[in-house]
Amino acid sequence: MARHSLRMRQRRPCTYILASQKGGTLYIGVTSDLPARIWQHRHGTTGGFASRYRVYRLVHAEFHEDMPSAIAREKQLKNWHRQWKINLIEAVNPHWLDLARKWGIAEA
């Protein structure tokens, strides 16, 4: 099991970015349980923007010590220009791989 998937089993505040495809529609969210939240997005239980635009690929995630920090970061990212968000993603995930699959928290 990958190191990331072991860490994913513990609840930890997280700010994340989903994409429909490389360079596609972006969704920014926050959660305390990333594996559960990814499952909800992929199975359509969340409704709303991510479901409507089929934004399921986890392309960026940042883990935080507490939920207020995660929420503050989510708000900051939502106010960023689109190109800044793309630059952030591509700095650590240049091919826009689905990190949920890579980390073993989503089905292939």
Give the pLDDT means over successive 10-residue stretches in the chain (108 positions).
45 94 96 93 84 90 96 98 98 96 82
Q: Which of 6, 56, 38 is nearest to 106 (CA)?
A: 38
How many Cα atoms occupy the beta-carbon half-sphere of 15 within 13 Å? Answer: 20
- Cα-based distances in Å from 40 to 6, 31, 35: 20, 11, 9
What is the per-residue pLDDT for 10?
Answer: 62
Q: CB atoms < 10 A from the CB of 35, how many?
A: 17
- Cα-based distances in Å from 82 to 11, 43, 77, 89: 29, 26, 9, 11
pTM of the model: 0.87
What is the per-residue pLDDT for 5?
Answer: 42
What is the per-residue pLDDT for 52?
Answer: 84
Distance of alpha carbon 40 from alpha carbon 47, whole angstroms? 9
Which helix or strand (DSSP H or E) is residue 91 part of?
Answer: helix 82-92
Architecture of the structural domain at 3-102: 3-Layer(aba) Sandwich (3.40)
What is the per-residue pLDDT for 107?
Answer: 73
